[in-house]
Amino acid sequence: MTAGAGKIRPLVAGNWKMNGLKAGLHEALTVRDALTAPLANIAADVMIAPPATLLLAMADACHPGPLSFAGQDCHVNASGAHTGDISAEMLKESGATAVIVGHSERRADHGETDRIVQSKAAAARRAGLTAIICLGETIGERNAGLALSVVARQLKNSVPDGATAADTVIAYEPVWAIGTGLTPSPADVAEVHGLIRRDLITRFGAEGAAMRLLYGGSVKPDNARVLLTVDNVNGALVGGASLKASDFLAIVRAYES
């Protein structure tokens, strides 16, 4: 296991966002096959969050195997008159073991508040899914010296009471780094992840100490090993680089032992 992961088993999760048709299922199959190859020795869990239209097909195609799957969002309710929405229970039935909530694109495009994100994380727990709760500041907030206070506020208000290491993962994704090719320095990542860890321990004790903290935001094969060895970084939430198996596996292999 690489430095920075400690005793916490890392997680590398690929967020396909609104990309992917059935013709692209071979990318997931390639990842699965690489993880199950006789010489594979990856000391990390690996997950893909495809669009909802592919979740069931991908989970079925890759079963059995070490690759797991997540939804990209869920509704707070288990069912009801919510046209176009998908419940956590529906994701679970389709093969998901986790769901991303509070991604900055959901916060920006759909006006999701910390309170909504907290409700979605609670819904994930209700359905037996792990909630991957996203946090992160904008470039304006960072330039104004507000990065730590913004992340601390999002963390406090987005994580539901009673969260555990088994049902909660925190992903720090500076908004200004997502899809831009820009990344914060390792020192900046360590500072934010250190704050998150301290606040989690203060609130949740041993459970907070054991929660996985992912870094996301322009994670690529050429910077993964540096970012994933930062203190309190226990894996990555990967965007565009997860769409191609070769790129995604190059990131995953940062945890090859």
Q: Name residues whose C-beta falls within 8 Å of residue 205's C-beta, 6 or more positions apart in sequence.
A: none
The residue to which tokens 């209700």 are assigned: 126
**Angle separating helix axes 52-61 and 25-36, nearest 10 degrees:** 40
User: Is 103 one of the annotated active-site residues of the chain?
Assistant: yes
Marked catalytic residue, from 103, 105, 112, 141: 103
Residues 89, 112, 137, 173: which is the catalytic one? 173
Residue where the block lists tokens 């390792």: 186
What is the rounded CA–CA span in Å between residue 14 and residue 125? 21
Burial class (CB within 10 angstroms; exposed 0-12, middle 13-18, buried 19+) of 221: middle
- 27 tagged catalytic: no
Q: How many Å apart are CA 32 and CA 199, to the nearest integer?
A: 35
Gap between the Cα atoms of 19 and 169, Å rounded: 23
Q: What residues are annotated to the active site?
A: 103, 173
